[in-house]
Amino acid sequence: MDYNQKQVQIFEVAERLFAENGYDGTSIRSIAKQADINIAMISYYFGLKEKLLKQLLNFKTADFTQELEDILSTSQDHFVKLEQIITLIIRRVHKNRRVYKIIHFEYSKTRQQIEFDAYLNNKKKNYTIIECFIKDGQQAGVFSKNVTIQLLLPTVLGTYFNLLYNKKSYEDIYQLDPNISIDDFVHGTLTKHIIRTIKAKLTYED
């Protein structure tokens, strides 16, 4: 699907506002105003509001299966690959954090208005690849077998998103250095913490 400059402009503003104020908390009018276009243009291009969101999500969540397979196809050992995979995952969710925030909140609603099929299919594919990698490491004897594999990714992603969603309060509670940018913190301290946590978990024997 190709989008013209104006449509991309609408996507950018919509992404920011949906992430900042929620889907229901964002009006078509406010998107139009900030994108500096007429209200009717949004309906003209995307139809219903929910179709705008659906197309936005598909536009932004491009496939990252390839990057994953690139790492796995190398001849490095399991721990190096593990580090690279975790680094890749965090880099990706951080880059697209606003889109993921929208997804988290809309997807967790009981009465869903939005279609998530394309996103879910990609997710499933990637999760299966990672599951195979862990099992391979277990059979090779480098990863502990006493692990609930299905809960490793929730730990990786959960740590990142919990920190993101509570950033302001953690900054206050722990008096994190405000001179360190969020990007540096995520790709430095946080990524290291998560890598060490998963490594520890995968080598831990009671």
Partner DNA sequence: TTTTGAGTTAAACAAACGTTTAATTTTGTG
Partner DNA sequence: CACAAAATTAAACGTTTGTTTAACTCAAAA
Work out how close the CB of 20 gets to a second copy at its nearest, in angstroms, rounded to a whole number: 4
Instruction: Say how far residue 204 (Cα) sits from the centre of its chain.
Output: 28
Site string for a second copy, 93-122 (x = CB under 8 A): --------x--xx-xxxxx--------x--
CA-to-CA distance for 40 and 166, rounded, in angstroms? 36
Alpha-carbon span 98 to 192, nearest angstrom: 22
Residue 13 CB, nearest approach to DNA (Å) = 13
* Residue among 49, 162, 65 nearest 118 (CA): 65
> Dihedral, CA atoms, 185, 85, 123, 136, nearest 10 degrees?
-150
**Rounded to an integer, what distance in angstroms lies between the CA atom of residue 158 and that of residue 152?**
10
**Nearer CB in complex with DNA: 30/159:** 30
Residues 15-74 touching DNA, rule: CB under 7 A, are 26-30, 37-44, 47-50
Cα–Cα distance measured from residue 149 to residue 135, given in angstroms and rounded to the nearest whole number: 8
**75 contributes a contact to DNA by CB under 7 A:** no
Q: Which residues bind DNA (CB under 7 A)?
A: 4, 6, 26-30, 37-44, 47-50
Chain residues binding a second copy by CB under 8 A are 20-25, 101, 104-105, 107-111, 120, 123-124, 127-128, 146, 148, 150-151, 154-155, 157-170, 172-174, 176, 189-190, 192-194, 196-197, 199-201, 203-204
